[in-house]
């Protein structure tokens, strides 16, 4: 059962599992919030093995019914609110979904599986943001870096991670966690930096860069993350945590300039045509300066490493967004536009 399977990372995970393991049934359990979109899974609709259930992870009865109806032996938990800026305007929603939602899943799984945990797995997808903010020159996060979340997004995620570990220790639930760096690629909702820049270049709209644009993120192509999730589901050791990262640190401003240049080229515009769209705006409150992941454990123990370089991944991403304007128009209409005005209006 893949919770949040209709979202950005989830849809890549689900499609990979369906294509690679024809004998496995994959139940997508998703509430279809603004970030969940069945169009993300259109390629596999009707395929044997794929089942969609609309449901909320905070709804214990619905989770239990789905687990029992489909004889679920593995949960990959990707259901979450995922945007830091939204967590600043609506922290209670993040606590509800990520803390209470994850706790509800854990509690239900521990009851449904209580007679036999053999061959079962509760796999929780977390983020590098729980480790807090690194200074320039500090060593990347390892699995033993203490948690130090600084936003409601990362605090609610950290809380859910602690509950996952607590259920491993207290109830013997076979749990595993992975903490991944920033993902990018097709089907990412265009409130996140990379698709937002591609979309705004395409529409000649200003590109909001928070603060000075010096903040650094470690970028990973989403299909590499899906490959790591597949591997951990198969061979990850219960009780363990695995860090996943792209080994690809870049400042926001450097990244924005790369995307502008790739998008202009793809649209056949002259070099530098959209450079003037960059607009420095008020910084995000509590904006983490830098994230960087040391992924040597998963490389040594499971043989995973990122396989898509940044330039290649960005080219694929730009191509996908420019070739899928229907998808983009659909998700940028209505609610999204109001949100956009609220977040960036007047700047």
Q: Which residues are known catalytic residues? A: 128-129, 153
Report DSSP state, residue 293. B
Binding string, 278-307, against ligand TYD, x = CB under 6 A? ------x-----------------------
Which uninterrupted H or E stretch holds 167? helix 152-171
Nearer to ligand NAD, 40 or 261 (CB): 40
Residues 180-199 that bind ligand TYD (CB under 6 A): 182, 192-193, 196
Least Å distance between CB 83 and ligand TYD?
Answer: 6
Least Å distance between CB 178 and ligand NAD?
Answer: 8
Residue 180 binding partner per list ligand TYD, ligand NAD, none, with a CB distance cut-off of 5 to 8 Å that depends on partner kind: ligand NAD
Q: Which residue, chain included where needed, has tokens 């043989």?
A: 303
Beta strands 207-210 and 278-281: pairing type?
parallel
Report the distance separating Cα 188 and Cα 338, nearest Å. Answer: 19
Beta strands 182-184 and 216-221: pairing type?
parallel
Least Å distance between CB 224 and ligand NAD?
Answer: 12
Least Å distance between CB 133 and ligand NAD?
Answer: 16
Under a CB-based contact definition with an 8 Å cutoff, are residues 26 and 80 in contact?
Answer: no
Distances (CA, A) of 38 to 1, 9, 191: 16, 13, 18
Question: Which residue among 34, 210, 336, 339 contacts ligand TYD (CB under 6 A)?
Answer: 210
For 210, the 3-state DSSP assignment is strand
Residue 209 binding partner per list ligand TYD, ligand NAD, none, with a CB distance cut-off of 5 to 8 Å that depends on partner kind: ligand TYD
Residue 174 binding partner per list ligand TYD, ligand NAD, none, with a CB distance cut-off of 5 to 8 Å that depends on partner kind: none
Task: Establish how many alpha carbons lie within 13 A of residue 341's alpha carbon, considering only the half-sphere containing its beta carbon.
Answer: 5
Question: Which residue among 63, 176, 180, 207 contacts ligand NAD (CB under 6 A)?
Answer: 180
Phi, psi at residue 123, to the nearest 5°? Answer: -110, 120
Q: Which residue, chain included where needed, has tokens 């940028």?
A: 332
Least Å distance between CB 121 and ligand TYD?
Answer: 26
Report the distance separating Cα 75 and Cα 122, nearest Å. Answer: 5
Residue 196 binding partner per list ligand NAD, ligand TYD, none, with a CB distance cut-off of 5 to 8 Å that depends on partner kind: ligand TYD
Q: Which residue, chain included where needed, has tokens 């948690």?
A: 147
Residue 189 binding partner per list ligand NAD, ligand TYD, none, with a CB distance cut-off of 5 to 8 Å that depends on partner kind: ligand NAD
Residues 75-114 that bind ligand TYD (CB under 6 A): 84
Instruction: Tell which residue, 179, 176, 156, 226, has the closest CA to residue 7.
Output: 226
Which residues, including other chains, have CB under 8 Å from residue 96's CB and lie 6 or more apart? 58
Phi, psi at residue 128, to the nearest 5°? Answer: -70, -15
Binding string, 236-275, against ligand TYD, x = CB under 6 A? ----------------x-----------------------
Binding string, 100-139, against ligand NAD, x = CB under 6 A? -x-----------------------x-x------------
Size of the site for ligand TYD (CB under 6 A): 12
Report the distance separating Cα 224 and Cα 221, nearest Å. Answer: 6
Binding site for ligand NAD (CB under 6 A): 3-4, 6-10, 30-33, 35-36, 56-58, 78-80, 82, 97, 101, 125, 127, 157, 180, 182-183, 189
């Amino acid at each position: 059962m893949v919770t949040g399977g209709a979202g950005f990372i989830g849809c890549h995970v689900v499609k990979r599992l369906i294509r690679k393991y024809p004998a496995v049934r994959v139940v997508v359990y998703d509430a279809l919030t603004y970030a969940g979109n069945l169009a993300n899974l259109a390629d596999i609709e009707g395929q044997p093995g794929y089942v969609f259930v609309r449901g909320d992870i905070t709804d214990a009865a619905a989770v239990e019914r789905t687990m029992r109806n489909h004889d679920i032996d593995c949960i990959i938990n990707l259901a979450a609110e995922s945007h830091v800026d939204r967590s600043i305007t609506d922290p209670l929603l993040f606590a509800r979904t990520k803390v209470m939602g994850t706790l509800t899943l854990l509690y239900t799984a521990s009851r449904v599986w209580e007679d036999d945990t053999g061959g079962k797995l509760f796999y929780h997808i977390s983020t590098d943001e729980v480790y807090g903010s690194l200074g320039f020159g500090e060593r990347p996060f390892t699995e033993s870096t203490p948690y130090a979340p600084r936003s409601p997004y990362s605090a609610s995620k950290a809380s859910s991670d602690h509950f996952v570990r607590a259920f491993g220790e207290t109830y013997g639930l076979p749990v595993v966690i992975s903490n991944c760096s920033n993902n990018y690629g097709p089907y990412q909702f265009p409130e996140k930096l990379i698709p937002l820049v591609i979309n705004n270049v395409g529409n000649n709209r200003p590109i909001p860069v928070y603060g000075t644009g010096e903040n650094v993120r470690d970028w990973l192509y989403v299909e590499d993350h899906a490959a790591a999730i597949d591997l951990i589901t198969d061979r990850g050791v219960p009780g363990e945590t695995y860090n996943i990262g792209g080994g690809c640190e870049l400042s926001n401003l450097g990244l924005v300039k790369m995307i502008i240049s790739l998008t202009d080229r793809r649209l056949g515009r002259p070099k530098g045509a959209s450079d003037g769209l960059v607009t420095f705006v008020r910084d995000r409150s509590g904006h983490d300066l830098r994230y960087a992941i040391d992924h040597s454990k998963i490389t040594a123990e499971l043989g995973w490493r990122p396989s898509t370089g940044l330039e290649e991944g960005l080219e694929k991403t730009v191509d996908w967004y420019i070739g899928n304007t229907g998808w983009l128009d659909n998700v940028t209409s209505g609610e999204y536009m109001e949100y956009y005005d609220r977040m960036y209006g007047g700047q």
